[in-house]
Amino acid sequence: MNRNERFLEVAKKTNMTDAEFASKIRTTRQQFSNWKNNGVDVPAKYLVRVIEEFPEVNARWLITGTHGEETEKIKSFEEYKADFEQSFKEIIALKDRIIEDKELIISMLRDKK
């Protein structure tokens, strides 16, 4: 995957329209379309803007295609949301177990009296 392809992958994963993404990195929709459809190289200053506007994007991956440790590239909003929801469910389950344990302890203490 080349630098333009990585740039376009980031744009796609934001779930923004081309015009919204272009605006976010301070360029025109027409220029973005040129990069997307005509294979024109994305200037480095726009890669920097992507990194500034989307801090979750791995800068090394965007520029070179490597991570150093070859970890995942970027996550879409939906992937972050799914991870968050799973973590939240696990926290709720732990909270429920703690409450059950406390109720059991209280019950045992009452029975001792």
| pLDDT single digits (tens) 9-49 | 999 999 999 999 999 999 999 999 999 999 899 999 999 99
- Name residue 89's amino acid: K
pLDDT, tens digit, 9 for 90 and up, residues 39-75: 899 999 999 999 999 999 999 899 988 875 544 556 7
Q: What is the pLDDT of residue 39?
A: 85
Token pair, residue 86, equals 């799973």
pLDDT at res. 44: 92
Residue 106, pLDDT above cutoff 80: yes
Give Cβ neighbours of residue 64 (< 8 Å, ≥ 6 apart). Answer: none
